[in-house]
């Protein structure tokens, strides 16, 4: 019996617990292995647990969700892509951010090595900006007032754990499209957001996992999606959601030709309106010449 099958048997639980059927778990577990960043690092049993957790909490596992095994406990850790965390935080209250690299002395004070990259991140919520002026009126200068109001956190990329390939005993390049300094900035930003806003609850995490580029999808929008790329699959689901919303707005049995035409463009097309106006103006001109009594 394969490891996956054994894990599936252990994952087979009573349906009233809301953890999904064996088939549901198996399908989602394979998707985790193939699509979700970090999913390939999970064992079969960890993958099944992750699938059950996602089903129970209605989490849409897309490329915006990261999974990894905790090296100390062996438990599966769910994480949001940093863009999702930023979006969630800004929904609570918009903010401004700034970064600064740590000096050698500052890195030494933090117990870091000279070759490590460390970045400070400050985030200042817009609804707290007025406090800077209030602290200045109390006698603080701008820098002091800013530090008292803004939230600061550090992000680190270490040479030993990140920039050094232990297997081949050599330095390695950062992830494609990134620099190590940018990775440090992202870590600092995420830490600052956690310090200021906390972490999204499972319910909030689940809700945002169904939103694609501002479009809220539902499970049925994903059922017929065949694209293998996570990003393309999400785009296809978003298009399905928009099409579903149009059909709900104008059901076929109640939709006349004019409504269908307008809905196709979300509104009556401008070229259609301009032609109608021009025709009406021509008729008015002709009518005025033929019927001077209308003047």
| 3-state DSSP of 62-116 | CCCEEEEECCCCCCEEEEECHHHHHHHHHHHCCEEEEEEECCHHHHHHCCCCCCC
Contact yes or no for 191/75 (Cβ under 8 A): no
- What pLDDT does residue 160 have? 93
Question: Which has the higher per-residue pLDDT, 176 or 195?
Answer: 195
SS3 of residue 224 by DSSP? coil
pLDDT at position 253 is 64
Report percent pLDDT > 70 for the chain.
76
Task: Tell me which of 68-77, 212-221, 266-275 is least confident.
Answer: 266-275
15, pLDDT greater than 70 = no
Q: What is the predicted pLDDT for the residue at 72?
A: 77
pLDDT digits (tens, 9 = 90+) for 180-204: 999 999 999 999 999 999 988 878 8
Q: What token pair was written down for 105?
A: 């002395």
- Sorting pLDDT into bands at 50, 70 and 90, what band is 288? very low
- What's the pLDDT score for residue 276? 38
Domain ranges of the chain: 3-80, 94-197
Neighbours of 222 (CB within 10 A): 18
Q: What number is the average pLDDT over the span 152-174?
A: 93
Beta-carbon contacts of residue 233 (< 8 Å; ≥ 6 apart): 62, 222, 225, 227
The residue ranking higher by pLDDT, 141 or 258, is: 141
The whole model's pTM is what? 0.64
């Amino acid at each position: 019996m394969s490891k996956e099958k054994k894990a599936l048997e252990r994952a087979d639980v009573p349906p009233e617990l809301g953890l999904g059927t064996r088939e549901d778990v198996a399908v989602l577990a394979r998707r985790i292995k193939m699509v979700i960043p970090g999913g390939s690092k999970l064992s079969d049993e960890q993958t099944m647990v992750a699938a059950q957790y996602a089903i129970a909490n209605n989490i849409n596992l897309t490329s915006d969700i990261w999974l990894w095994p905790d090296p100390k406990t062996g438990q599966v850790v769910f994480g949001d892509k940093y863009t999702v965390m930023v979006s969630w935080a800004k929904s609570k209250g918009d903010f401004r951010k700034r970064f600064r690299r740590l000096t050698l002395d500052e890195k030494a004070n933090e117990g870091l090595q000279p070759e490590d990259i460390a970045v400070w991140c400050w985030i200042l919520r817009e609804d707290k900006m007025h406090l800077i002026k209030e602290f200045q009126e109390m006698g603080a200068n701008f820098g002091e007032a800013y530090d008292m109001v803004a939230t600061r956190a550090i992000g680190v990329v270490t040479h030993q754990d990140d920039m050094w390939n232990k297997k081949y005993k050599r330095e390695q390049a950062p992830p494609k499209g990134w620099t190590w300094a940018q990775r440090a900035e992202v870590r600092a930003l995420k830490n600052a957001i956690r310090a200021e806003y906390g972490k999204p609850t499972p319910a909030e995490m689940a809700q945002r996992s169904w939103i694609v580029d501002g479009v809220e999808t539902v499970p049925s929008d994903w059922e017929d999606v065949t694209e293998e790329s996570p990003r393309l699959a999400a785009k296809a689901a978003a298009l399905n959601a928009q099409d579903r919303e149009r059909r709900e707005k104008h059901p076929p049995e109640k939709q006349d030709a004019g409504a269908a035409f307008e809905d196709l463009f979300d509104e009556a097309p401008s070229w259609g309106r301009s032609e109608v106006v021009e025709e009406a103006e021509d008729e008015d001109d002709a009518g005025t010449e033929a019927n001077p009594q209308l003047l």
